[in-house]
Structure formats: C-alpha cells, structure tokens
Structure 1
Amino acid sequence: MAFLRDETGQVIASVKDLVPILALLLRYRDRKIKMKDLVMRTLKRWISTVKPISTSSEFLAWRQQFLPGRLQLLAWVVLIILILVTMLHLTVTIPSLNASGDPKVAFSADRLRAYLANTISQILSVFVGVLITRSRWIRQSPERVFLLFNALVLLPMQVVAAFRGEVSFDSEIWLIYFAIQAILVPVYWQLHLLSQVVAIGYFVTAFSFGWRDPNVVVPAVYLLFGVYTIFICAVANTGVFLYERSCKRELELRQQLRVFIHAVSHDLRNPILGMTMTLKSFVKPSGESSAIPQELLVQLVASGDRQVELINSLLEAHATEVQGLALHRQPIQLAELVNTTVNDFQPFFQQLKTSVYQTISPNLPPINADSLQLRRVYENLISNALKYNRPSLQLTFAAEVVDSEKLGKWGNRQSASRLQHSPLHWLHCIVTDNGVGMTLQQSKHLFDLYSRGRDQRRSLSLGLGLYMCRQIIAAHGGEIGVISSPDQGATFWFTLPIQT
C-alpha cells in the first residue's frame, strides 16, 4: 500500500485514507458546476423575460391616443391631492406642531411664509399644467407635455428655495408623485426615467455646491430617503416597462387573430361559394333531374376534401397544443424515407422544373421515430419551398451525425448547451433551397401558429404546416429552425436523436 510521508519520512496517511477526501472534493466540484449552470440558466431566463418586443406601428398609434387622456387624469389627481394636503397641513398638522411647544418643530412666521410660498407656487404650477393638458398641444406632442408637466410639479419648490440659497429635499413628494405617475401613466418608461433623473439630479448638484434644506435636521435623512426614492423609481420604471411589454404582446396577438380570421374566411368561404354557385347552376325551376358531368363531380369532391383537410388541420393543431402529439416510434432509415417522399413529389418537380439533390447516405445510423409524422415534416418543407419560390428551384437534402458543439454552428447554441452532457448522438437534417429567402424577423416567427409564410401578400393559408413541423420534431426530442437572408435562399434544419 502506498503511503504519504513528510520531510522526515514520518508516515502521514495512506492513499486509502485520502479516497473519502478526494470523493468529497469531486462531489463539491460537481455541485459547484451544477450551481453555476443553474445560475446561468436563471440569468438567461430573466434576460429573455426583460428582452424588449419590437414596437409596431399599431402600438405607437395606441400609445399616442392613450397618453393624452392619462396625462389629463394625472394632472387633475395631482392638483386635488395638493389642495387636500395643503388644507390638512393648515388646519391640523401645523396647529398641532405649534401646540406642542417644541421650537424645533413649531412653525415660526418665517417658516410659515416659506411654506405658503412653496405650496402656492406649486399649486399654481400644477394648475398651469392642467390647462396645458387640456390644450391642443397635448395631441400634437404628448411626450413634451409629459416632461413639461413633470417640470411644473417637481421644480417650482426648488426654484423658490434657490432664491434663498437653499435646496428643497422633496423626498415625500417624489415618492408619492413617481408612484402615482407610474400607476396612471404606465407608458414611456424612458420619459419616467428622464423626469426622475432631472429632479433628483438637480438636488444632488445643488447639494454638492453646499446648499441644504433647513427643515432637515439629521444629515442621515438625506441618505435614507434618497435610497427610498431610488428604490421606488426603479420599481415604478420596471412596472411601466412590463406593462408596455404586455400591451405590445396583446396588440401583436390581436393582429395575428385578425390575420387568422381573414385567412379562415378566405380559405373556407371562397371554395364553398364556388361549389354552391356550381350546384345552383344545375337546379331547374321545373324540378326536373339534372345530369352533372363526372369531371365536375370529381372537382367538387376534391374541393370538399380540401375543406375537410383544412378543418382537420385546425382541430389537429388545437389538439396538439392541448394534449401533445402521440408518436408510434420504430427504427427507420432516413435515406429511405426521404427517397420515398421525393419520389411522390416528382410530378410537381417536373412541372416547376425543380432540381433535386439527395445526398443523404444510406449508411447513417437508424433513428427511433414515427415514420408517418417525420414524412409530414419533409412534405411540409418541400411544399413550403415550392409554394414561395420561383420555378427552376434547386432543393438539396442532407443529413449528418453531429455532437452538441457542432449544433451551435447552426444558430441553436441554447440547445447545444442543454445537450452538452447528453449521452445521445444527434442526426442533423438539412433541406436547402436557392430561392428568395426571408428576413431575420420572418425567420423568428416562421414556426409560430398561424404564421403565413414568407410573402403574406401572396399567401392566405392558415400557416399550420411549419407549426406542425415544430410540434413533430419537438415530440421526437429535437429542435427545428431556419437560416436565411433575402435573395440568399433558405436552409431548414432539424435534429433527431439517434437510436443507440
């Protein structure tokens, strides 16, 4: 047995004694790594939560209409609160302080005059703000009126104090006003922040030049209420930001709903109207029998089948969203499945003069998948490429075995991070075309429910195909995405676990 000895040759411990210590150190290292991964995942989730949503013109128009009304409400609320607080101070607070007999808290004649000057100037300023919010300026530039009203509320007392060589520490007013403003005007968090920085920044600047508030006896009050004010401002701005974000998302969903209803009305109504008009043409007022040509019957049946297929797609999308997708897995060879799918599309390829390059090796390891559902993925990707591109398209099918590090190259670094400790190998499948491509914004939403493809002006389909592709691949434990840019074609990729 091996022993550890010191410089004098004395036996300290055997290697066997160190095994528990080494195991403990390894366990500590593993826990440290897991804790680090947990912190990083939590941080990424928080960052994705606060990530801003793109601002649409519809949201900007809504905010432009929303802000004037809320500014008018804010102005009236502030004016009423100021009047009520002033009456409370004059009738209750100041008499109570004077009755206490303590000269430190009692209001002398000079202090009372200073209080009345500050209060009257502030009430008059807020009243001017009320008049401004009811003028035509608020419709022309509500953002400027917002900043002007903040100046009228927060700066008059500072101006009056500046004439006396003092500064007014309005922490209570700041706390109340910034909270009320965030509740009543929960838009434009940037303007909220700017108004707060101006008010607090003026006080800090004046304070650094030696000006003080004579009503503050204990210097620690500056620090204490300053921290409170900064905390309230941070919470208020966060609330405004999250409210704006939720409004943007709500308007975006409403827009998608309108688009979906329009697509449904087009895809369901027009063929049914065509069938109805065709059948009406064979109706005879005399009640005699009519002979309908066989070719026309075939067209009517095909049209009806398409409507049934469309309705089934809607039901399937809803069921998949609620219950998940049921798979019937079995070992399959990807090359054989792709060859069969491509052969079924040969008439369309010949009609549109599409060149197909199938480079998937038959020697790839088998995958444990549902062949019917995986075939639907390829059918949707092929149909999507033929539908949104010009004739003479080039389609390339490829697949290779990859590890998690190589997955990051295809723009799915999150999945690479998630799968880096997985014992599975992955099959990376690619369908590439040299068509018109798409923008990054279109790529982000291409697999969303009811997304309608690359050229929405040419397409009124319900956009269920690529959504179902994502559901199918996700049910298999993989991921799907697209890499594209305008006029540079598109590369659709998805990953599948390999049966080991």
Structure 2
Amino acid sequence: MRSLPFPNTFRTTWLHWQESFQHRQQMSGRVASEFLVWRRSFIGDRVRLLAWMVLFAVSISFTLNMTFTIPMLNAAGDPRMLIVGERLRRIVELALTEIVCGVIGVALTYHPLTRKQPEKVVLLITALSLFPSQVLSIVRGEAQFDADIWLLYYAAQAIVIPVKWELHCLSQAIVIGYSVIPFLMGWRDPDVLFSATYVLGGLYIGLMCVVANVGVFLHEQSIRREHDLRQQLRVFLHAVSHDLRNPVIGMGMTLKSFLNPSGRPAQIPQDLLEQMIKSGDRQLELINSLLEAHVTELHGVTLHPQPIQLEALVDSILCDFQPFFKQEKTSITSNLSVNLPTVHADALHLRRVYENLITNALKYNRPGLRITLDAEVIAGNLHKKVSASSRWLRCTVSDDGAGMTPQQCAHLFELYTRGPNKRQSLSLGLGLYTCRQIITAHRGEIGVQSIPEVGSTFWFTLPLDV
C-alpha cells in the first residue's frame, strides 16, 4: 500500500499557520507605532501650511491697514481714532516685525527639524506668530491684549492640525501665560478703553480653547479608530489567505498524489477522506460565519424571544458537547439552579452564545481544562444604565486555563480579534464578536475577567424585567 502524503501536507500547513500567527501578532503590536509615525508626518506637513497661512494673514492685514483702514479712520476726523505719529510708527513696527517672523516661520518649516520634531516646530511657529506684539509691548512698559488675534490663530491651528490635543494645550498655555505677566505687573493695554473688554475677551478665549481642544481630541480618536480598523482589515485578509488557502492547498496536494496517469481508479483511504471532509466542513463554517458577521453588521441581530428555562437549555448544550469534552479531557461543572426565573430571550441565539464561549475555552487552552457554568439573579444599577428596580440574570462561563492580560481582554470582543493562545488555525475571530452582537440585541452586556496563568470568566447579562 502506498504511503500517505497527508501528514507531510499537514506539517506544511502547520508551519504556514505558525508563520501566519506570528505575523498577525507583529501587525497588532505595530498599530500604535504606525499611528504615531503617521501623526508625526501629518503634523510636519500641516505646520508648513499653518506657517504660510500666518504669513499671508499678516501681510494682507498690513496691506489693508495701510491702504484702507488707517486712511479711513484718519478721514473720519475723530481725535480718538486718529492713527498718526507715534501710534502709526508702532503699528508699522509691529506689522513689519510680524511679517519678518512669518518669513522665518515659513523658512523653518523647510528645515529637517520639521520632519524629526514637528511638535517643536509648531510651538516655534506659535511663538513667532503671537509673541512679537507681546515682546514689543513689554519693552514699552505696556500690556498687549490680543484676544481677537488669539481667537483666529487657535481656531486656525485646530482646523489645520486637528491632532495631538496636548500640543494645542501647551501652545495656548505658553502664549496666554506669557501675556499675563504684564497684567500682573500692573500694566494695561492703552488701546483697551473698558475693563469689561478683558473679562469678555478672556471668556471668549477660554471657550475657544476648550472647544478647539475637545474637537481635536475627538477628531484624533476617530482617526485612531480608522487606523485600528485598517489594521484589523489587514489582519483579517492575512487570516483568510492562510486559514482558508492552506487547507485547500493541502487537499489539492493530497488529491494530486492519488492521481494515476494510467487512468486506473484511485483508492483513497477512508480515514483520509474523513479528514478532508472535516476540513472542508470547517472551511464552509468559516465562510458562513464571515457572511453572517457581515449581515449582522449591516442589519443587526433579528430576535425571536420566548420564555426560556436556562438550566434546561444549558443541559442540552452540554450534552451536545460531551464528545468534545471527552476528546479534550475537559471537566465540566454546571451550577445552574432549576429555580432560576424564566428569561425572555431567543433560544437559538442564546445557545450560540454558550456554544461560542465553550468552544472558545476549548480552542485557546490546553487539554484537561476545567469549565464551570453558573448563573444568578442580580438587581440594581449594575452597569449604570438601568434603574435601581431592574433585575438581571448574570451568566458566567469560567475556566482555569491560560488566562489573558487586561490589554488582550480590552479588544477581545472586536471583529476579527483572536485569542493569544490559539491551538487551532481555522478561525477568523468571529465567535466573541457574534456573542457581543447577540447579547447587545437582548439589551444586555458581555465581558470577561481574566488573570494570566489563572483562568478566565466570561460573563453576560440578560434582563428579567421585560
């Protein structure tokens, strides 16, 4: 009888999967660093735009003042509005200083420092844009209250560079803090006629800074989320290419080995056929799970709730899993009481939640695992979303397996996320995501508590007061 090539094919597939798993782990660890690299490059590009905007603004402002605003005010004949002599000299001196600083700022953005440390360049551009008036006023022994300029600049900065809110806060604190010094020395702005101007101006500046910083923070969070989704998509495509392609390649190689050039019928051993059929079934299951996850993401979970006795449902699920428990040498304990209240839920979907949690425990842990199922009635504002009179059924699936870190637990229920100790290759990380979708559709919550090398406890809640 000819030798079977399937074991060698299996070893090849296993090596492919090991390479795939290591690649996925590396990709997941790089998502934060990739975002930071992108953010630094983004700030470097946008700070140049900001510098050009500042130079354009001060140049246009100076031109309009000299050709339109000042002549118009002088023509009005109001002595309080006249801009001549020393007052005109100060305005021209400040405008020319701002233009020179604007040119320096633009030139600075073309320096290699902009690529290496763009945050420092942003602070330098801020200083070159807003400090000239403050420095000149202190030299003259006066204060300078540039509320309108600050409002425009910080609004423009938040729009042009909508990332890293900490940088915006620092930029605002440096300039505003420096401008407070003359006021603490008792100096005042000679162009400000009413004290209320300081109060209203300070209020507007404070509101603008808060709104700008919150907007930048929220925008950066959305961008970071987009980067995470792109990373998940790359991980998913890599998983599909390995977890679905490699078994097909293995079966193709096996079938080709039985191809007889003479045309005589090939005899394939029964056990090899069974293994190939199981492999095909697992691939079909993965494809169906992927399609189901897509439909759920678009249309949500459709429920057909009915009164359920949870203890009876769990017993039937454990009976179906007995062959797997025996194969994995798993000890299973159910502490569910027959006196639990009836829960109004979709029996089929609730069964899938338990099946996914149990399957997850078997996949990601060593043989000889101990699994414990429990449920209890809880009341009150447990998740800070319900009234104190609400009652919930809290169900748990615990094991004494490898456990997980808090960082791993934080993303466990996201789409295409896999556990850290996977012993089988065929999985796209859809099980726990599906569980979350089902429990959320029931108006409950799901989570996990885990300690490395101690074990994990998956829990979910179902409302009883329906």
- Can you list the C-alpha shifts for 1:324-383, whole angstroms capped at 9, x where unaligned? 434455554433333333333334333433222222233434444444433322222121
1:446 corresponds to: 412
Structure of higher CA gyration radius:
1
Secondary structure of the residue aligned to 1:212 is coil
2:126 corresponds to: 150
1:489 corresponds to: 455
2:106 corresponds to: 130
AA aligned to 1:264 is V
Distance 1:298 1:290, change over 3 A: same
1:190 corresponds to: 166
Secondary structure of the residue aligned to 1:418 is coil
1:429 corresponds to: 395
Residues of 2 paired with 1:456 and 1:391: CA distance? 13
1:300 aligns with one of 256, 276, 279: 276
1:251 deviates by 0.7
Are 1:325 and 2:325 matched, yes or no?
no
Residues of 2 paired with 1:498 and 1:103: CA distance? 79
Distance 1:266 1:111, change over 3 A: same
2:312 aligns with one of 331, 336, 345: 336
AA aligned to 1:183 is I
1:161 aligns with one of 119, 127, 137: 137
AA aligned to 1:243 is H
Are 1:271 and 2:239 matched, yes or no?
no
Q: Is the 8 A contact 2:286 2:426 kept in 1?
A: no
| TM-score normalised by structure 2 residue count | 0.86
1:463 corresponds to: 429
Distance 1:459 1:190, change over 3 A: farther
- Can you list the C-alpha shifts for 1:433-480, whole angstroms capped at 9, x where unaligned? 111211223223222222212447986721111222233334444332
Q: Is the 8 A contact 1:399 1:429 kept in 2?
A: yes
Which moves more between the two structures, 334-343 or 246-255? 334-343
Q: Is the 8 A contact 1:333 1:365 kept in 2?
A: yes
Secondary structure of the residue aligned to 1:396 is strand
Consecutive unaligned residues in structure 1, runs of 5 or more: 1-54
Q: Is the 8 A contact 1:175 1:229 kept in 2?
A: yes
1:420 corresponds to: 388
Distance 1:390 1:216, change over 3 A: same
Are 1:230 and 2:206 matched, yes or no?
yes
Which moves more between the two structures, 62-71 or 340-349? 340-349
1:349 corresponds to: 325
Distance 1:456 1:180, change over 3 A: farther
1:162 deviates by 1.3
1:247 deviates by 0.8
1:61 deviates by 1.3
AA aligned to 2:228 is E
Distance 1:457 1:132, change over 3 A: farther
Secondary structure of the residue aligned to 1:432 is strand
Residues of 2 paired with 1:370 and 1:460: CA distance? 28
1:154 deviates by 0.9
Which moves more between the two structures, 362-371 or 95-104? 362-371
2:3 corresponds to: none
Residues of 2 paired with 1:82 and 1:103: CA distance? 27
1:234 deviates by 2.3
Residues of 1 paired with 2:349 and 2:147: CA distance? 64
2:62 corresponds to: 86
Give the number of aligned pairs. 436
1:495 deviates by 2.8
AA aligned to 1:109 is G
Q: Is the 8 A contact 2:364 2:423 kept in 1?
A: no
Residues of 2 paired with 1:348 and 1:232: CA distance? 62
Q: Is the 8 A contact 1:97 1:105 kept in 2?
A: yes
AA aligned to 2:447 is G
- Can you list the C-alpha shifts for 1:34-88, whole angstroms capped at 9, x where unaligned? xxxxxxxxxxxxxxxxxxxxx9222211111111111111111111221121111
Distance 1:325 1:247, change over 3 A: closer
Which moves more between the two structures, 352-361 or 73-82? 352-361
Report % sequence identity: 56
1:209 aligns with one of 170, 180, 185: 185
Residues of 2 paired with 1:349 and 1:207: CA distance? 77
1:44 corresponds to: none
Write out aligned runs for 1:112-127 (5 A).
112-127=88-103
Secondary structure of the residue aligned to 1:296 is helix
Distance 1:250 1:112, change over 3 A: same
Distance 1:95 1:455, change over 3 A: farther
Q: Is the 8 A contact 1:331 1:499 kept in 2?
A: no
Secondary structure of the residue aligned to 2:402 is coil
Q: Provide the aligned C-alpha RMSD in A.
A: 2.6
Which moves more between the two structures, 291-300 or 232-241? 291-300
AA aligned to 1:440 is P
2:363 corresponds to: 387
Q: Is the 8 A contact 2:372 2:397 kept in 1?
A: yes
Residues of 1 paired with 2:438 and 2:460: CA distance? 11
Distance 1:110 1:440, change over 3 A: same
Residues of 1 paired with 2:343 and 2:74: CA distance? 87
Q: Is the 8 A contact 1:453 1:459 kept in 2?
A: no
Distance 1:188 1:345, change over 3 A: same
AA aligned to 2:338 is P
AA aligned to 1:212 is R
Residues of 2 paired with 1:328 and 1:169: CA distance? 66
